[in-house]
């Protein structure tokens, strides 16, 4: 029973250290994204990366037919992302209230 208690205490200490380390790493990320603008640009870049990798994986694994029917979807997606980045940039020009 003593060994079980000691092991449980070690797990609790590890959990506390893990959470403390996690908070420090989150603070590092927050300092990098000190403005909302960088965060929004990063989210937009991530969405584009996921979209392109999804199409690439579909083409490589032959999960979907990649032909001319996909071109309007791709153009629409990049048009949407263009408007997204423009709106984020315009929001950055607005004065803080």
Indicate the pTM of the whole model.
0.60
Q: Taking each helix axis from N to C terminus, what angle separates 36-60 and 71-93, rounded to the nearest 10 degrees?
A: 170
Q: What is the mean pLDDT of the chain?
A: 75
Asked if 51 and 88 sit in the same domain, the reply is: yes
Q: Which two tokens stand for residue 38?
A: 């960088």
Q: What is the DSSP letter of 57?
A: H
Number of domains in the chain: 2
Note the pLDDT of residue 33: 55
Assess contact for 44 and 84: CB atoms under 8 A.
Answer: yes
Assess contact for 47 and 81: CB atoms under 8 A.
Answer: yes
Examine the pLDDT at 42 and tell me if it is beyond 60.
yes
- In percent, the amount of the chain with pLDDT more than 90 equals 31
Asked if 47 and 79 sit in the same domain, the reply is: yes
> What is the domain range of residue 53?
35-97
Assess contact for 35 and 41: CB atoms under 8 A.
Answer: no
Per-residue pLDDT reduced to its tens digit, 67-85: 888 889 999 999 999 999 9
Asked if 40 and 80 sit in the same domain, the reply is: yes
């Amino acid at each position: 029973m003593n060994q079980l208690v000691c092991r449980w205490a070690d797990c609790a200490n590890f959990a506390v250290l893990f959470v403390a380390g996690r908070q420090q790493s989150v603070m590092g990320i927050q300092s990098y994204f000190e403005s909302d603008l960088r965060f929004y640009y990063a989210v937009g870049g991530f969405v584009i990366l996921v979209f392109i990798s999804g199409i690439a994986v579909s083409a490589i694994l032959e999960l979907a037919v990649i032909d001319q029917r996909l071109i309007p979807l791709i153009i629409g997606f990049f048009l949407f992302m263009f408007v997204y980045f423009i709106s984020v940039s315009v929001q950055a020009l607005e004065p803080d209230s």
